[in-house]
Structure 1
Amino acid sequence: MDFSKNILETIGNTPLVKLNKIVAEIDALVLAKVETFNPGNSVKDRMAVKMIEDAEADGRLKPGGTIIEGTSGNTGMGLALVAIIKGYKLICVISDKQSKEKMDILRAVGAKVVVCPTDVEPTDPRSYYSVSKRLAEETPNSWYVNQYDNLSNSLAHYEQTGPEIWKQTDGKITHFVVGVGTGGTISGVGKYLKEKNPNIKIWGIDTYGSVFKKYHETGIFDENEIYSYITEGIGEDILPKNVDFSLIDGFTKVTDKDAAVYTRKIALEEAIFVGNSAGACIKGLLQLKDQFKPDDVVVVLFHDSGSRYVGKMFNDDWMRERGFLEENITKAEDVIKDHIDKELIVVRTEELVSHAIERMRKYKISQIPVVDINGFVGSVDETDLFRSYVADKNVAEKPIKDVMGKPFPIVKLGTPIEEVSKLFSKENDAVLIDLGNGQHHIITKYDIIGSIK
């Protein structure tokens, strides 16, 4: 009988799959190492087992102990599988930018999940780096994994992933392309492949808000490059010990939007349902297309499953809110389609300024049309009201007609967005669209900016 003794024995030997439509403009053979076939649905299963086994061997992790780790979700899943089989407790510290699906999955496999804010410095006591270390100090019989600096991480890929890729390509691989987070995959695979053939090029995919690319090119750790970003699983605001920059030939950066858009494209064009970093890898691959020749064999690694992003990149509303959904915006009504059914908030000429201020606060808006019995006769915006208040502290009790500006321009349904944009100026921050039947809606600068691709 052919069976595995437990689920951990099914880790590895993931398939290499030829990519077709999505890489049509690349003149080379492009193969995807699809790591979702691991039981925890990600590449992180490999290093989770290796790190735990090494910690057991040298006594850092003792029977019945508690494993503690800061994770973007996938490492936590891999650790959870091992913890279940080997009888350990697990605490996963995760940042709040990670998908709800990742948090729910970790809880489903028995992990305690501690959520920390994303937009704080690594040294901040609230960061998931700091919280992980603190919990490890406070928890009896615990072991802090520290996947960033734990070299068993890259060793797992040197011993497993690299040899698999070499064997599957019959040694013909010329380029390896992968997203870089902890650095374990790119460094472990890169080390093995370059030992086999020093001419193999190793390319890292980075994201905007991360320090890797500039540091690799200049040796400068530029804190000005660090800011929050949406893309999950790649990029860092630290320099993990697992990132061996000497093995990496270059980096290319991919925007949050491109990573999200190409994550969806992989599913639609290749029928491979993978996660956010895979989308970044494919867009990065396309950015690097001039690096490849017809006889090249390019391997790109897909880290994890798309099931962990169904509430994010695979959700139209989430994509639309961030301006990531590729929609055809050509007419005035296109830019307000998400809120065109909402009532137009107005204020009347004889109402007090305080009424307008109250409505701005209640509905979180900055501009309001002014009406009388004849229709639209003026407008007020928060900037004008602020200036009026500075000049006269009693302005709140004055009628709107005393402080209102010119009425907003009105356009018809079907007006090209280019014509609408021309109506905005320093003196005018909004445009009204006539929906017919006496109904109107407002288009703001924010709506126009949100429609920019």
Structure 2
Amino acid sequence: MTRELPCTVLAKVEFFNPGNSIKDRMAVRMVEEAEKDGRLKPGGTLVEGTSGNTGMGLALAAIVKGYRCIFATTDKQSKEKVDILKAVGAEVIVCPTNVEPEDPRSYYSVAARLAKEVPNAFYVNQYDNLANRDAHYEQTGPEIWEQTEGKITHLIVATGTGGTVTGAGKYLKEKNPDIQVWAIDSYGSLLKKYHETGELDMSEVYPYITEGIGEDFVPQNYDMSVIDKFEKVTDKDGAVMARRITKEEGIFVGYSAGSAVSGLVQLKHLLKPEDVVVVIFHDHGSRYVGKVYNDQWMMERGFLDVKTVKDVVNGRRNVPLVTLNPDEKVSDAIGKMKKFDIEHIPVLQNNEVVGAISESGLFSRLIDQPELKDAAVKQVMQASFPVVGLETPIDKLTIFINKENGAVLTKDESGNHHIVTKYDIIQALGK
């Protein structure tokens, strides 16, 4: 993965925090600051708009300190995040993603409204609450400086609220002004263009899938002067890279870590052999098991380049399917096997699959009863081959194709049957 980069790359893994993300740092700090200045009173309610991780940190703090939690989140967040928030006692309201921040249905607006309506409530507002970036200035930045013995040359952060990149980046630049701070943004977010031009261009904003990074407004936690460069990463590249990190490095990371490393790889031409790069791994992969780490979810979005049954079918579109009728003779089946050099033939009646004939099955029957060659196929046919969908990944067919069953069937969009055998799988995987 990072072996293709010319420099040393270090990951600051943040999922060892109690809530499994870097957001625990600023969650506690925001609560404690509000307690100090009286905004949060005993028995109060924490209200926040969250993509999940900040909510988790706040919920854990609330358990310890005796507060109630009400969180607004968006419908693009993983189900795991919502379920975890509920598990730790939070009330969760799911809001639509594809609305303007000012829209009363947005999770920003819903959180702000609830903070006014709920008695003794404190609206945490991680986006504009400067205790967010202060936590990283006081904790994350110093830790990185000490852990790299001051050798860090680049800090890479997939950024959303701006707290981590601004707080940690500010501290590190005070220690060494030459340190580069690179923020990774998502397509569909306006942060990169705002950093480069100072313009709030809403034409940059459109729906995207990546969780926890990018914004459709500029939170007050940002100090753009701390950031040297923004780089945008696609939803697909971030998701695929997260899976690579997990598989190749053995670190089970969340979506934003994939985006951060993908952005770093895109900028590798700016790095030198002597550079020491630190990438923030914000949270744990368990929050994304139903999304990034789910093959079906990835394939539905075109993120997973895997061979499917459809690829096999398309690869031999002009080859007709050899079939048998239940009333044909077994000798006809043997003749077709020889003529077409095949081992498995589905038996169809009125274009419906009613059974199957296989070379191995016929062999064992004919050894004991040679006279069966004159019998009808329906007398000796086996159960039908399993039927699978066109989008089934090839590597999942081992569930169906085994010693007892040598093929599966599928139907194309026109209703035509196709067969996939062990040989087809070997051929497909070898390409």
Q: 1:405 is matched with which residue?
A: none
For the residue of structure 2 that corresponds to 1:36, the secondary structure is coil
Q: 1:100 is matched with which residue?
A: 79
One of 201, 212, 220 as aligned partner of 1:222:
201
Q: How does 1:397-408 map to 2 (within 5 A)?
A: none
Output the CA distance in 2 between the equivalents of 1:95 and 1:61: 25
Q: How does 1:324-363 map to 2 (within 5 A)?
A: 324-328=303-307, 333=312
1:253 matched to 2:249? The reply is: no
For the residue of structure 1 that corresponds to 2:4, the secondary structure is coil
Q: 2:381 is matched with which residue?
A: none
Provide the alpha-carbon RMSD of the alignment. 2.1
Q: How does 1:53-452 map to 2 (within 5 A)?
A: 53-328=32-307, 333=312, 435=417
Q: 1:35 is matched with which residue?
A: 14
1:332–1:433 Cα contact (<8 Å) kept: no
Q: TM-score, normalised by structure 1?
A: 0.70
For the residue of structure 1 that corresponds to 2:5, the secondary structure is coil
Q: 1:359 is matched with which residue?
A: none
Q: Deviations over 1:216-256 (max 9, x none)?
A: 11111111111110000100001000111110000110000
2:165–2:183 Cα contact (<8 Å) kept: yes
Output the CA distance in 1 between the equivalents of 2:303 and 2:169: 33
1:48 matched to 2:27? The reply is: yes
Q: Percent identity?
A: 66
1:257–1:324 Cα contact (<8 Å) kept: yes
1:329–1:335 Cα contact (<8 Å) kept: no
For the residue of structure 1 that corresponds to 2:189, the secondary structure is coil
For the residue of structure 1 that corresponds to 2:292, the secondary structure is coil
Output the CA distance in 2 between the equivalents of 1:87 and 1:25: 49
Q: 1:24 is matched with which residue?
A: 3
Output the CA distance in 1 between the equivalents of 2:280 and 2:13: 6
2:313–2:418 Cα contact (<8 Å) kept: no
Output the CA distance in 1 between the equivalents of 2:311 and 2:272: 45
Q: Which amino acid aligns with 1:128?
A: Y
Highest Rg: 1 or 2?
2
Q: Which amino acid aligns with 1:197?
A: N
Q: Deviations over 1:339-374 (max 9, x none)?
A: xxxxxxxxxxxxxxxxxxxxxxxxxxxxxxxxxx9x
Q: Per the alignment, do residues 431 and 273 of structure 1 end up closer, same or farther by CA in structure 2, a change over 3 Å counting?
A: closer
Output the CA distance in 2 between the equivalents of 1:47 and 1:228: 27
- Unpaired segments of 5 or more residues in structure 1? 1-21, 337-372, 374-412, 414-429, 438-453
Q: Deviations over 1:5-60 (max 9, x none)?
A: xxxxxxxxxxxxxxxxx101101110000000101000000000100000000000
Output the CA distance in 2 between the equivalents of 1:198 and 1:436: 64
Output the CA distance in 1 between the equivalents of 2:126 and 2:313: 46
Q: How many residues align?
A: 326
Q: TM-score, normalised by structure 2?
A: 0.73
For the residue of structure 2 that corresponds to 1:192, the secondary structure is helix
Output the CA distance in 2 between the equivalents of 1:431 and 1:117: 33
For the residue of structure 2 that corresponds to 1:37, the secondary structure is coil
